[in-house]
Amino acid sequence: MPANRTSARRRAAALGALALAGSLLAAAPAHADGGNGSPSGAPTTAATPKNDGAKHICKRLPKTEERITKALNRLNGDATVVGSVARLQQRATEAKAAGHAEIETYLTNRLTARKALVTTLQARQTDLKSVATWCAAHNDGAGK
């Protein structure tokens, strides 16, 4: 008789696990749609932001400006500065002179990306100046 009790417990545990697995599988499609389980799949109101994060942006502004300035100084440095456009240009020129076509192509492609980065950072630096003006006029984003 004790063996019978054990098998009954095992059956009950197996049925419980099966029911749990079934309920998880049934909930998976609703979760995969990005919805909240409602038929429309629309997100809940708790998922929408309550504000645009202006207060946090204003708070981080000095650090962000510092990081962009530091990166631009490095990128605009001369050929002795690691990470500068001039140094990468020099390396590409030396690879071409040595006849290393594949290396030259690789370095030239990196140089193109690095020059684009300079343009992007300069645009961000300009944008941050207008953000700084806005933050000063709006109490660092605290008020609406």
Residue position matching structure tokens 């950072």: 121
**Taking the domains of the chain in order of start, what are their residue ranges?**
2-45, 54-141
pLDDT along the chain (144 residues), means of 10: 63 66 57 53 61 90 96 96 96 96 97 97 96 90 69
Global pTM reads: 0.61
The pLDDT, as a whole number, for residue 108 is 97
**DSSP per position, 55-102:** HHHHHHHHHHHHHHHHHHHHHTS-TTSTT-HHHHHHHHHHHHHTT-HH
